Amino acid sequence: MEKILVTSALTYANGKLHIGHVAGSYLNADIFVRYQKLIGNDVIYIGGTDDYGTPISLKAEEEGVAPRIIAERYNKSIKKDLQGLNIQLDNFSGTSRPRHIKISQDFFTNLLEAGYVTKKTLKQLYDKKYKRFLADRYIEGICPYCKSDGARGDQCDNCGKLIDAINLIEPKSKISGETPIIKETTHWYLNLPKFENELREWLKIKTYWKDNVRNFIFSWLNEGLKERAITRDLDWGVPIPLENTKGKVLYVWFDAPIGYISSTQEWAENKGQPDLWKDYWLNPNTKLIHFLGKDNIPFHTIIWPSMLMKQKYPYVLPYDVPANEFLNLEGQKMSTSHNWTVWVEDYLKYFNGELLRYVLAANAPETKDSDFCWKDFQAKINNELNNILGNLANRTFIFAQKCFNGKISKPEVLSEQSQQTLNEACKIADYIGGSYNNYQVRKASRLAMDIARIGNKYFDETQPWFEVKKSKKIAEETLYVCTELLRIISIVYSPIIPKGMKKLRKMINLPGKISWKDLDKKQIKFEISEVSQLFKKIEDKEIEKQLELLKATQTVEEKIMEHG
């Protein structure tokens, strides 16, 4: 039995859950975890919200509430939406909770004492009206190189050059619209160059990582690592544990991954075994697997392992970081600031969570960006889930009830065609297991649907509706084989569409609790109970409505919603 600790990237608590989050790091993790449980591994799935940073404190000021209120509001909303999609985390915490503060401060102190953190004084732009230093994305001005307007504090989109914010011509604060002043400040930097050799050594054995992840890491390493500031001047964050540093907090990218540990600690405490988290984090045999979107790769493969290496506790380092690419929407880049996304809460008002699980799994952005289109959503539900899988169940069960009173037995001898059909399904089931294990959700989904395709073809070729008039036995054999295929499908598809497969098993009177080993337990008899439609078809007008809603709520005005 393997010990596996799975995490999904912490979601930023300044907005609701959208399908980009789901496709990027939640659904693939949930499917992986479900599969690992089916094969009997000891796996826990940990997540939560990233509660700190400028956007949350600005939003709180706008609403006249404490930042904690905003963070807690979205923590609750995200948790509820995940449940709506049947994404089952073992714990969902938030980084503004007390235990997280303590452990984040310990991380900082340990790195400082080990000599990996340095203090520096620097000049930064400061908004006098809002009394805060401005992070790069909160400043706009004229590019010092190409003189074009609208360059950000970190980069010019026109010429592509990287900019140091204090060199911008006519800088403006994007919060107040006023001209910021230059002010001196002190920050602490993580000395990443000092980790380079150790990181390279550690990454040597990670040849099994996804190509997109490895390419990303090595391009970072080869450009040369730079020292990175790990503190900010802000009041909403983890205070740094040093004397006379009021108003200095840890930068969100430093404390956010520590949230995986504090969330595991919370899980252990809730279980009444407060030391249980150590069984996972301090166990060299634990496979620590971080699911995330590609924008999070450098944090989890370079900065986070460096932080873990220099702690007093012997933390396990990431075993794998299966990062996904991005999900686009109707051919355009998704954007929460332009409201160009599908919010899970809205989706759930109209459709079942299982359908989204299916479509996002079948179309997962595993090796390149993929696109979510409402018309394609409808096509996948109607043409695949209904016309292939639903059809096989429906025709088999209705026929069984009509001619056999729902009772189907295995014939003493199977025809060669029947035996071949079953063998093929078993072989495919093996491939499906391998695909789940390799984070290939798309492939697993396609292969599982192939079993249903094989079943329909077999049903057509053996013509039970015709055979039954001559020999009930031959017709029964077809129904037996098809039901057996459906039994296999109910196991192999359960990580992706767990509720639908539970319903399917209920129709065949099979127990809801399953294990991957059940694949080998061939049934001798089936008793089909009440038959109902597995999935509902989606009408054109339902899709038209979604497209209208999407376009009607799209906003042109840009708001700054991301981390700062």
Nearest CA to 559 out of 296, 150, 142, 175 is that of: 175
Least CB distance from residue 178 to Zn ion, whole Å? 23
Nearest distance from residue 177's CB to Zn ion, in Å? 22
Q: Rounded to an integer, what distance in angstroms lies between the CA atom of residue 462 and that of residue 348? A: 41
- Least Å distance, CB 61 to Zn ion, is 32
Helix (H, G, I), strand (E, B) or coil at 64: coil
Nearer to Zn ion, 146 or 398 (CB): 146
Output 136 or 295, the one with its CB closest to Zn ion.
136
**In the complex with Zn ion, which residue's Cβ is closer, 122 or 146?**
146
Q: How far is residue 419's CA from residue 421's CA, in Å, rounded to a whole number?
A: 5
Residue 145 or 326: the one with the smaller Cβ distance to Zn ion is: 145
Q: Which of 8, 6, 28 is nearest to 327 (CA)?
A: 28
Contact 82, 92 (CB under 8 A): yes
Q: How far is the CB of 171 from Zn ion (least distance, A)?
A: 14
286, amino acid identity: T
Q: Would you list the DSSP string of 292-325?
A: EEGGGHHIIIIIHHHHHHTSSS-PPPEEE--EE-
Distance in Å, CB of 225 to Zn ion, minimum: 26
Beta strands in 424-554 (DSSP E): 525-527
Of 155 and 339, CB closest to Zn ion: 155
CB of 169 to Zn ion, least distance (A): 10
Supply the minimum distance, in Å, between the C-beta of residue 333 and Zn ion: 22
What are the counts of helices (DSSP H) followed by strands (DSSP E) for the chain?
A: 22, 20
Q: Which is nearer to Zn ion, 157 or 461 (CB)?
A: 157
- CB nearer Zn ion, residue 165 or residue 444: 165
Pairing of strands 181-190, 151-152: unpaired
Burial 465-491 (b: 16+ CB within 10 A, else e): eebbeeeeebbbbbbbbbbbbbbbbbb
Rounded CA separation 515/510 (Å): 12
Q: Which is nearer to Zn ion, 159 or 181 (CB)?
A: 159
Q: How far is the CB of 149 from Zn ion (least distance, A)?
A: 10
Query: Considering beta carbons, is residue 47 or 141 the nearer one to Zn ion?
Result: 141
In the bound state with Zn ion, the residue whose beta carbon lies nearer, of 145 and 313, is 145
Residue 70 CB-density burial (10 A; 0-12 exposed, 13-18 middle, 19+ buried): buried
Minimum gap (Å) between residue 161 Cβ and Zn ion = 5
Angle between helices 472-492 and 416-437 (to 10 degrees): 0
Q: Which residues bind Zn ion (CB under 5 A)?
A: 143, 145-146, 156, 158-159
Shortest distance, position 155 Cβ to Zn ion, whole Å:
9
Q: Token pair for residue 310?
A: 């220099």
- Burial class of 83 by CB neighbour count within 10 A (0 to 12, 13 to 18, 19+): middle
Residue type for 557, please?
A: E
Reduce the secondary structure of 217-274 to three states and give it as a string. Answer: HHHHHHHCCCCEECEEECCCCCECCCCCCCCEEECHHHHCCHHHHHHHHHHHHHCCCC
